[in-house]
Amino acid sequence: MAKSSKPRLTKMAPAKESPEPELSEDESEEDVSAEEKEEDTPAAEDGSKKTFADLGVIESLCEACENLGYKYPTPIQEQAIPIMLEGRDVIGLAETGSGKTAAFVIPMLTALMDKPQSFFGLIMAPTRELAYQISQQVEALGSLINVKCAVLVGGMDMVPQSIALGKKPHVIVATPGRLLDHLENTKGFSLKHLKYLVMDEADRLLDLDFGPILDKILKVLPREGRRTYLFSATMSSKVESLQRASLHNPLRVSISSSSHQTVAGLLQKYMFIPHKHKDIYLVHLLNDNIGHPVIIFTRTVNETQRIAILLRTLGFGAIPLHGQLSQSARLGALSKFKSRSRDILVATDVAARGLDIPAVDLVVNLDLPPDSKTYVHRVGRTARAGKSGKAVSFVTQYDVEMWLRIENALGKKVDEEPIPKDEAMVLAERVGEAQRVAIREMKELHEGRGKKGAVLKGRKGGKRGRDEMDREEG
Ligand code: AMP
């Protein structure tokens, strides 16, 4: 976040004129492109590819993109940015990993530089982690122009957030519940001069029942002179009614024709193994990937912790991430993983959505996800923004039906990874010992006298019973 309290936004020339788009005056949105070209990744070294300057992005923001290593716009950026710079409301159908954040931040900052003011833009996101990640991108892209950004999320003290609001930031990134809380209770805070509204992951916002809160927030935002962008991975009837309530004559941009599309550069495999040998094959797989960042997905909080202890006992740098950790413990776990002080993140699905961890090489579905949509979100943690990556799913005798359902939704057969049975079974004894250590420590943790405090340190609300630890919190 920029430290100075006075905004130092310089007035810049407006963005380069783009060619006149063919716009319909119809109130229903137009679909500018529903085609996805899989090879169209930002990393392509194709001389014919458009640059950010070609899209009409002003020089200082092109420079910020370059500093962040964004060489070429991603497909969603290529499609959305020119239309947004024309001043249109946009519905973006794109998932995390597509580069959608920069797609909406760049046009917002362009307009902010033209007419600097406080409380210029509001970005709403469904989860705290996503809100922090978005704010990091706002600050990174806005660093050359000294953009001030405040984050308002639940689970954190309200007072520092109120102080941040008192400094009159240009952009607010918020989860809806906490934003409404501040709108109702923080003296002097109002968004009546707001110019840009972004609703990110709108489908998720509505899945999490933020609908009534969004309605209340929308009521206190100005409609005149406000640009609105709505991003969503899927277009449900709920998202459509939110769109009708909040967007004006929008254009639709889409980079995915199916909600089950996985990104190019992702190698998907499955391993068919006996349930009782899951831990052994996991350790074997990790031995083959030492030094690479890995995310392991499990079904329950309990399993996340058991696996983290098991792996630590075997000398791996593993850290658990789940919804029963306090917000600061979750951020701490994530930053250790991001800074590579730990290579292995063991996570539940709370972590699957919206986490921006660019450098993950391998995703392991130790437990299969409960549905195919979650599968796509999980494996979307690798092979991001044009990089390559691998996802390995463990399928046991109990998971065959679920796996076939996932394959069916993907519309393709996933290749089987050969089972290195002999090599793996050599590990059986050591893994067995570590399993016993993990069981003992888990028992101690449940009894509230865990010596490995780090595992549960910062957990919300003190001691919890076994039942609660078996559930995942949304
Ligand atoms: P997002 O979909 O916004 O969560 O972005 C996913 C990742 O892609 C983030 O780590 C971004 O920093 C990165 N990214 C965004 N735009 C580009 C680009 N044009 N080239 C390379 N990486 C990008």
Give the C-alpha separation, 146 to 9, whole Å. 6
CB atoms within 10 A of CB 23: 13
Among 45-54, 120-129, 266-275, whose mean pLDDT is lowest? 45-54
- Residues 395/336, Cβ–Cβ less than 8 Å: no
pLDDT over 80 (residue 426): yes
Q: What is the 70 CA–ligand 1 centroid distance (Å)?
A: 7
What atom in ligand 1 is closest to the CA of residue 68?
Answer: 12
* Per-residue burial over 420-452, b = 16 or more CB atoms within 10 Å of its CB, e = otherwise: eeeebeebeeebeebbeebeebbeebbeeebeb
- Quick one: pLDDT band at residue 410, thresholds 50, 70, 90? confident
- Helix, strand, coil proportions of the chain in percent (round to 5)? 40, 15, 45
User: Is CATH 3.40.50.300 what the domain over 25-254 is classified as, yes or no?
Assistant: yes
C-alpha torsion 271→272→277→281, nearest 10: -10
* Tens digits of residue pLDDT in 89-146: 999 988 777 899 999 999 999 999 999 999 999 999 998 888 999 999 999 999 988 9
Give the C-alpha separation, 192 to 183, whole Å. 11
- Residues 150/165, Cβ–Cβ less than 8 Å: yes
Report the pLDDT averaged over residues 201-214: 88
Residue bearing the bigger pLDDT, 13 or 32? 32
Give the C-alpha separation, 207 to 257, whole Å. 21
Confirm whether 25-254 and 266-450 share one CATH topology: yes
Q: Is 353 in the pocket of ligand 1 (CB under 6 A)?
A: no
| The pLDDT of residue 333 | 85
Among 10-19, 128-137, 265-274, 353-362, whose mean pLDDT is lowest? 10-19
Q: What is the 136 CA–ligand 1 centroid distance (Å)?
A: 12
| The pLDDT of residue 339 | 83
Among 18-32, 233-247, 262-276, 282-296, whose mean pLDDT is lowest? 18-32
What atom in ligand 1 is closest to the CA of residue 94?
Answer: 2
Q: How far is CA 156 from CA 44, 88, 127, in A?
A: 41, 35, 13
Give me the percent of the chain exceeding a pLDDT of 90: 53
Q: Is 385 in the pocket of ligand 1 (CB under 6 A)?
A: yes
- Residues 125/134, Cβ–Cβ less than 8 Å: yes
Q: Is 101 in the pocket of ligand 1 (CB under 6 A)?
A: yes
- Quick one: pLDDT band at residue 164, thresholds 50, 70, 90? very high
Q: What is the 81 CA–ligand 1 centroid distance (Å)?
A: 14
Give the C-alpha separation, 32 to 18, whole Å. 15
What atom in ligand 1 is closest to the CA of residue 358?
Answer: 10
Q: What is the 437 CA–ligand 1 centroid distance (Å)?
A: 40
Among 123-127, 380-384, 451-455, whose mean pLDDT is lowest? 451-455
Report the interhelical angle of 100-114 vs 59-67 (nearest 10°).
140
Residue bearing the bigger pLDDT, 257 or 89? 89
Q: Is 100 in the pocket of ligand 1 (CB under 6 A)?
A: yes
Output Rg (C-alpha) for the chain, integer angstroms: 23
| The pLDDT of residue 464 | 39
Give the distance between the most distant pair of CA atoms in the chain: 70
DSSP per-residue codes, 102-115: HHHHHHHHHHHHHS
Give the C-alpha separation, 462 to 153, whole Å. 21
Report the pLDDT averaged over residues 331-340: 84
Residue bearing the bigger pLDDT, 389 or 154? 154
Q: What is the 143 CA–ligand 1 centroid distance (Å)?
A: 17
Indicate which residue's Cα is closest to atom 1 of ligand 1.
Answer: 99
266-450 CATH fold: Rossmann fold (3.40.50)
CA 116, 167, 66, 48 torsion: positive or negative?
negative
Q: What is the 98 CA–ligand 1 centroid distance (Å)?
A: 6
DSSP per-residue codes, 193-248: T--EEEE-SHHHHHHTT-HHHHHHHHHTS--TT-EEEEEESS--HHHHHHHHHH-S
- Residues 206/236, Cβ–Cβ less than 8 Å: yes
Q: What is the 102 CA–ligand 1 centroid distance (Å)?
A: 7
Sheet of 121-124: strand order equals 30-33, 251-254, 90-93, 227-232, 196-199, 121-124, 171-174, 149-152
Indicate which residue's Cα is closest to atom 14 of ligand 1.
Answer: 99
* Tens digits of residue pLDDT in 230-253: 998 877 788 888 988 899 989 989
Q: Which amino acid would we find at residue 438?
A: A
Mean residue pLDDT of the chain comes to 81
| Tokens found for residue 244 | 């009708």
Report the pLDDT averaged over residues 179-189: 95
Q: What is the 358 CA–ligand 1 centroid distance (Å)?
A: 8
Nearest to 214 by CA among 90, 131, 125: 125
Q: Is 369 in the pocket of ligand 1 (CB under 6 A)?
A: no
Give the C-alpha separation, 122 to 312, whole Å. 41
| Tokens found for residue 16 | 């380069």
pLDDT over 70 (residue 457): no
Sheet of 344-347: strand order equals 318-321, 344-347, 294-297, 362-365, 389-395, 266-272, 415-416
Q: What is the 418 CA–ligand 1 centroid distance (Å)?
A: 33
| Tokens found for residue 432 | 């067995």
**Domain segments of the chain: what residues?**
25-254, 266-450
Q: Is 96 in the pocket of ligand 1 (CB under 6 A)?
A: yes
Give the C-alpha separation, 296 to 303, whole Å. 11
| The pLDDT of residue 409 | 82
Burial of 101 (0-12, 13-18, 19+ CB in 10 A): buried
- Greatest mean pLDDT among 91-95, 259-263, 352-356: 91-95
Give the C-alpha separation, 98 to 76, whole Å. 7
Strand 121-124 vs strand 149-152: parallel, antiparallel, or unpaired? unpaired
| The pLDDT of residue 271 | 95
| Tokens found for residue 67 | 């500093």
Among 253-262, 331-340, 401-410, whose mean pLDDT is lowest? 253-262
Nearest to 270 by CA among 365, 141, 143: 365
Q: Which amino acid would we find at residue 61?
A: L
- Greatest mean pLDDT among 20-29, 49-58, 232-241, 441-450: 49-58
Q: Is 74 in the pocket of ligand 1 (CB under 6 A)?
A: yes
- For the entire predicted model, the pTM comes to 0.59
pLDDT over 70 (residue 26): no
